Amino acid sequence: MTNSDENINKLNTNISKLNSENEAIKKLIIGAETDSSLFSPGTKRKAERTYSSSSDSEAIETIINNKPFTNRLRSEIMKRFVNDKGQTLGFYEKKFHNDMEEIKKDLFVPKNSNFKESWKKAGDSFKNDKNKKK
């Protein structure tokens, strides 16, 4: 084998190893979709940092309803999309997909919920806000 072939094989081995480690971490931290996970998809690194600090994990434990999730989401949207206020989540996801993915990574899901359920509740709240303005 040439030197470049060896390097490619080593790289592939390392990538496979990292992928399997990430899957194990993901299963530990995020769990199944029906699990009452505290974290949104894609927040493995943030979750690891959060659990390393007891004060942060205590703060997370106090989240018991969807209001902080929705308010944080609304706040981030208002900051990033000042010219498109008062729209539905579907509008923002379609028009600003990459920005919305970044916002999702920083959201904490309420204790007895999952990301999908919290996102739906937040979406309903955005729809209600839009209907009130009509």
Residue 36's pLDDT is 42
Q: What are phi and psi of 108, to 5 degrees?
A: -100, 130
Domain ranges of the chain: 1-30, 34-133
Q: Exposed, middle or buried: residue 66 (CB in 10 Å: 0-12, 13-18, 19+)?
A: buried
Task: Write the pLDDT tens digit of every residue in 23-57.
Answer: 666 666 654 444 444 445 554 444 444 444 445 55
Q: Provide the token pair at 95.
A: 């028009």
Is 39 in a helix, a strand, or coil?
strand
Tally Cβ neighbours within 10 Å of residue 58. 9
Question: SS3 letters for 116-131?
Answer: HHHHHHHHHHHHHHHH
pTM of the model: 0.50
Residue 94's pLDDT is 93
Rounded to an integer, what distance in angstroms lies between the CA atom of residue 35 and that of residue 9? 37
Local confidence band at 76 (pLDDT 50, 70, 90 cut-offs):
very high
Q: Which residue has the higher pLDDT, 60 or 113?
A: 113
- Residue 59 in this model has a pLDDT that exceeds 80: no
Residue 64's pLDDT is 57
